[in-house]
Structure 1
């Protein structure tokens, strides 16, 4: 016997009512006699019937699907972000759908086109490079498009205050007498990374300091190791390094200690970005800017609800603070323990 879903027609036959009565029974606010609704609900319970929300959404030209587009879903911070946002969406009554992509505009655009075909109620781009055509396509179809972690003209966007974070990192290093600064990033020129780099260099320049910038292939642990070998293994000592994320900071710290026999923070101070769980581990105790995934998820839902309430409003721009969490990877101020 081929398995099949229980249909509304089967419920109608069991209850002895019309197919439309079944539909009204499961539609909040619809007109239906109490005794008829009771018959339908009893029949549905006996059969194990569940409403087909996807079909309903397609009939209404809008489903409850919300697409999450990410080029790096396996990275620690993105995993936390997706989990927190998915929980919030489910609580909202939406159905989160993750579409992993590459970093290119074509792959992100293809993912968005797929979501449009399924009449998703919104697309949330967590990482990757959305193209201008993608933005225009969303607007023509009336689908909310929320871009996270980058500034885009047209769609609603939510980002963290990279400029202030970079300024704080410089202030922390300068207050501790460090003047030889390094910055570790990747060759993947995403807007977030560019913003952090430019702001860090500018803040350092305001103190009369230059910054040695070291790029690696990717923003991962191996990238941090490669960057450390190039930045720290030259004999031109660097006293403090700001890494664009925690993974690169972990790789850099391990290389500095295990290969170069440097002591952290006595010989080298390190600041990361993201606040992933491993940053608290005893092996790292990394001072880092904390992106709170729950705060971010709450803000994404707020922007989505605001957009749906007023589809023609001007683009919503939300900038979130990222507090610096002090741990053991930065040399204490004079007089501190």
Structure 2
């Protein structure tokens, strides 16, 4: 029994985190000296600091930033709230935000929301309970009660891709892009147009759909509208089949995102159509797959690195000037011309 107990103690020691007290004993200094050595701007003799840093390196010591933040009532956690973070452009934006926040000194926490309001509110309560510094919302689906809970607790919010009172916003001008897509199609003599949309009904998707339809009809073109169940590849196959199998098949299709465009293009080729000779396609997002030889998709580019950098800038500005009115940043999205459609202006 004694041998087993000793073995257990050794295992426990191995699993126990190295603390500032261990560093102090190794360096032969006080616990407070270790604390000052790892606090920017604190006073500590150069020789003492060198001993402490050498001991910390030997022991593998790391400052417990979470504990330090909780004592200061600020954990440095930043919540990234997103529905289906693994899908399409959201995956690239979440990755860019994570990298930018780590560079800022934050600890990003990805909250993969569920589909019910209660799941969303539980996610936000988790962030508030851990004293998150701020929340960045990438999804268009959280209900208004989600935002209200954060506001009541004084937590800064950055919202990407939707409009919400009393929050800072980052948006791309999807309406302008959709109008430009319609104008390019009509300028090339295409008057039977298609819109491949989504039943998801998020604000960004609705904005693109409405703008394309209005502009196309203003220019005298007919628009056939079909929507997949979601803004993904399967949704693109659904919408593509409904559009392409029509007797009055469109000459060109605007897709509300690239994943839908991929589905549309694959169904078109399955139906024996050549792209762009028989059918022109424009997408939205410019995910890396858009440049694959299988697609060579002409699409509007959202820049995830630029959007992530702007989100961090907004957090910095909000911390410096908390009483500023809500800030709205809106970016234009350039058209990246590839093989699925070439406008006259690019020829």
Calculate the TM-score normalised by the size of structure 2: 0.92
Give, in whole Å, the separation in 2 of the partners of 1:335 and 1:85.
33
Call closer, same or farther: CA 1:331–1:261 in 2, change over 3 Å.
farther
1:89-168 mapped onto 2 (5 Å cutoff): 89-168=101-180
Answer whether contact 1:108 1:129 (CA < 8 A) is retained: no
RMSD, aligned α-carbons:
1.8
Give the helix-richer structure, 1 or 2. 2
Cα pair 2:135 2:157 within 8 Å, conserved: yes
| Structure 1, 48-57 or 6-15: larger mean CA deviation | 6-15
Map 1:244-263 → 2, pairs under 5 A: 244-258=256-270, 260-263=271-274
* CA deviation string 1:224-268 (max 9, x = no partner): 11111111112122111100111111111111111x211211111
Matched positions, count: 335
In structure 1, distance between residues paired with 2:109 and 2:197: 30
Choose from 152, 155, 178 the match for 2:190: 178
Gaps of 5+ in 2: 1-10
CA distance in 1, matches of 2:272, 2:155: 54
Q: 1:292 is matched with which residue?
A: 303
**5+ long unaligned stretches in structure 1:** none
**TM-score normalized by the length of structure 1:** 0.94
Report if aligned partners of 1:103, 1:128 keep a CA contact under 8 Å in 2: no
Contact 1:25 1:32 in 2 (8 A): yes
Cα distance in 1 for residues equivalent to 2:164 and 2:346: 45
Which residue of the other structure, out of 46, 61, 66, is the alignment partner of 1:49? 61
Using the TM superposition, give the Cα deviation of residue 104 of structure 1 relative to its aligned residue in structure 2, in angstroms.
Answer: 4.3
8 Å contact 1:271–1:286 — kept in the other structure? yes
- Does 33-42 or 301-310 show the bigger shift? 33-42
Cα offset, 1:26, TM superposition: 0.8
Please give the alpha-carbon distance, in whole angstroms, between the structure 2 residues aligned to 1:307 and 1:257.
50
Shift of 1:156: 0.6
Pairwise CA distance, 1:334: 9.9
Q: In the superposition, relative to structure 1, how do residues 150 and 103 fare at CA in structure 2: closer, same or farther (>3 Å)?
A: farther
Which deviations, in whole Å up to 9, do the C-alpha atoms of 1:265-318 show, x marking residues without a partner? 111111001101111111111110011111111111111111111111111100
- Does the 8 Å CA contact 1:108/1:128 hold for their aligned counterparts? no
Deviation at 1:50, TM superposition (A): 0.7
Which of 89, 93, 98 is the equivalent residue of 1:81?
93
